[in-house]
Structure 1
Amino acid sequence: MDASVTADRSLADETYRSLLDEILSAQLAGGAVVQERRLAVRLGVSRSPMRDALGRLEGQGLLVRNAKGVLTVKVITLADYLNSIAMRLLVEPSAAAQACSTISTETIDALYGMANAIEADPDPYPAVIWAFDDALHNGIAAASGNPFMADTIVQMRRYTTIFERQRKLAQRKPGLADHQGILRALSERDADAARAAMALHLERVRQNVLATY
């Protein structure tokens, strides 16, 4: 592949990741109008990689066209959130069970280290909590060995993440005990326990959100 084409592809990927992070962290809030030129200037890229990145995000449903055809950040509704959690409940417990036989001891130890650091900190930064949550759930998805299952989990988690962060629903240490239970099951290579722990965690998340409405 031509070096210039490779560089363009890399820049488009980097732009995509930057915008995705801003959407997931609610820096680009639901309903916000996406102005291609302004975003390109702010991120210091040309309009070509910006257009490519926006097209990918629109294809993934994170950007949508309003009634006037203007590109905006998708507003994640409570119904979207609950439907995403329902899908995760169908898939993620099975992923946790399958990951028991494949996830590395090093990965489990690293996740334990992150969890222990959060537990020891009386007021951890939200970014640290989210990083651990992403590492745990995405790590399990990848370790499931099923790329279709992993892709579904990643896509559904994007919707639940946006909803929770935009509405600041996270507690100081959300789901930490549940996450530790999942880690114990993974470290013991107990598939049934991992399946049950993940299902319990997701159901508690669902109930906690419903309690705020």
Structure 2
Amino acid sequence: MSKGGDGKLADAAYRTVLEKILSHELPGGSVIQERKLAEAMGVSRTPMRDALGRLEGEGLLVRLTDRLLSVRVITLQDYLHSLDVRMMIEPQAAGLAVRSLTPNDISMLRSELAALEADESPQLEGRHWRFDDLLHELLAEKSGNPFLSKLIREMRRYTKIFERQTVPPRRKPGLDDHGRILDALATGRAEKARDAMAEHIRNVRKRILDGL
């Protein structure tokens, strides 16, 4: 059964508020003003309330009182725990994805990475995150395991929020790692894909801790 109008509005509100959280437009600790958010999006408070309830259920909003929510503050401990989970499951997903990735998939990723490497614009950070999402989410999807894919998506949200809220923007982080992942995927060998992804996550952890 298709969703009604309120359901579609709630989905749209969910995506909008989620992006505001991920992009640090709504940083950790921000008190959520349901009425203002609804008015800004031009929706009623019912779909906005549904959207906020979904985000609360996913752990991105926390309840202060019966009526007040705030954006969850992702601590260093949260971040490291999320990376630990990613280390356990993302190499596995990359290895599984080798079976269903097509040459066109890899060609597309290489093209996007090359464009990112050549980009010197002020919008580079946003473009970096779009590529990062594209690569990791494609591999999660191509793993063929929807539960694995869902968990990767949730853990990456925590690490992304922490990095965008805590670490100063840097020029083109992780490009070499991503290139090695694509090279490993192109071999068609699951163990190489697993190793490249595991090395990437170890390097992410090291870069963040060295920069704190």
Q: Please indicate the TM-score interval, normalised by the length of the shorter structure.
A: over 0.9
What CA deviation, in whole Å up to 9, does each residue of 1:4-38 have, x standing for no partner?
A: x5222111101100000010001001000001001
Shift of 1:185: 1.2
Partner of 1:18: 16
Structure 2 unaligned blocks of 5 or more: none
Written as runs of structure 1 = structure 2, the 5 A alignment for 1:93-132 is: 93-123=91-121, 125-132=124-131
Shift of 1:106: 2.0
CA root-mean-square deviation = 1.6
What CA deviation, in whole Å up to 9, does each residue of 1:143-192 have, x standing for no partner?
A: 00111111110000000000011124442111001001111111221211
Written as runs of structure 1 = structure 2, the 5 A alignment for 1:45-194 is: 45-66=43-64, 70-123=68-121, 125-194=124-193
Question: Counterpart amino acid of 2:170?
Answer: Q
Aligned residues: 211
Aligned partner of residue 173 in structure 1, secondary structure: coil
The answer to whether the Cα contact below 8 Å between 1:169 and 1:209 also exists between their aligned partners in 2 is no
Partner of 1:212: 211
Shift of 1:108: 1.6
Task: Report the TM-score when normalising by structure 1.
Answer: 0.94
Shift of 1:69: 6.3
The answer to whether the Cα contact below 8 Å between 1:81 and 1:159 also exists between their aligned partners in 2 is yes
Question: Counterpart amino acid of 2:47?
Answer: P
Question: Counterpart amino acid of 1:111?
Answer: L
Question: Counterpart amino acid of 1:138?
Answer: E
Aligned partner of residue 59 in structure 2, secondary structure: coil
2:144 and 2:66 mapped to 1: Cα distance? Answer: 43
What CA deviation, in whole Å up to 9, does each residue of 1:32-84 have, x standing for no partner?
A: 00010011011111101100000000000000013786310000000000000
1:41 and 1:168 mapped to 2: Cα distance? Answer: 32
1:100 and 1:118 mapped to 2: Cα distance? Answer: 23
Question: Counterpart amino acid of 1:56?
Answer: R
The answer to whether the Cα contact below 8 Å between 2:167 and 2:208 also exists between their aligned partners in 1 is no
The answer to whether the Cα contact below 8 Å between 2:85 and 2:155 also exists between their aligned partners in 1 is yes
Percentage of matched positions with identical amino acids: 50
Question: Counterpart amino acid of 2:197?
Answer: M
Task: Report the TM-score when normalising by structure 2.
Answer: 0.95
1:129 and 1:142 mapped to 2: Cα distance? Answer: 20
Structure 1 unaligned blocks of 5 or more: none
